[in-house]
Chain A
């Protein structure tokens, strides 16, 4: 997890409330991603960013928005949380030297009640 941190690590929220998850990196990588991980579905891409203010949708973007105002920060917002958004959310970065695989953050476990 060196160079990439997610906050909070755990969160319980109520249905209908907005929630923002934060991903912070110190690697100066260009690409940042948000995935969710659910049993039986593996990791699914929500949104990704390829630079400051440059973002695009992934496979499961409905109900989520993102912002990237600085290279180091990538925010994921659940506009109005639903129980189906209960999941583990992982941020990842890429763009470093060598292979273009990802480095993942530690994850945020979100429970919507």
Chain B
């Protein structure tokens, strides 16, 4: 079992819809969770971090964390074609200093 798992997709949604991206992790002691966006041929960029159970909103993005069920999700409201990218979930596992473990990413396509 991978430590951080994501549906590889691809996921396609129409413009204006809500895109929902999911991530599960195996280490129950994990405390820090991140979502990165990576455009094709570019480096990952941090879009959200979440540390506590519940929702965290930033503009059109909402991160949701449920530690009991060991999943973290990212919702993108009013999806735009410019949101088309690969989304990477990253977790700082318990026992690690600062290093992050990444999922393999979910490719999102927003159709005009």
Q: For residue B96, give the distance in angstroms from its CB to the closest CB of chain A.
A: 9
How many chain B residues touch A (Cβ–Cβ < 8 Å)? Answer: 22
**B residues less than 8 Å from A106 (CB atoms):** 42-43
Does A31 sit within 8 A of B, measured CB to CB? yes
Q: Which listed residue (B32, B46, B98, B101) contacts A103, Cβ 8 A? A: B46
Residue of B nearest to A31 (CB): B98
Does B99 sit within 8 A of A, measured CB to CB? yes
Known A-B contacts A90-B43, A100-B92, A103-B46; A45 and B104 likewise in contact (beta carbons under 8 Å): no
| A43 touching B102, Cβ below 8 Å | yes
Known A-B contacts A42-B88, A43-B44, A90-B43; A101 and B102 likewise in contact (beta carbons under 8 Å): no
Q: Which of A35, A43, A99, A100 has the most CB of B within 10 A?
A: A43
Q: For residue B5, give the distance in angstroms from its CB to the closest CB of chain A.
A: 10
| Nearest 9 Cβ contacts at the A-B interface | A42-B104, A104-B43, A43-B102, A99-B49, A101-B46, A42-B102, A31-B98, A101-B34, A104-B44
| B residues adjacent to A (C-beta < 8 A) | 8, 32, 34, 36, 42-46, 49, 88, 90, 92, 97-105
| A residues adjacent to B (C-beta < 8 A) | 1, 31, 33, 35, 40-45, 48, 50, 56, 58, 90, 94-95, 99-107
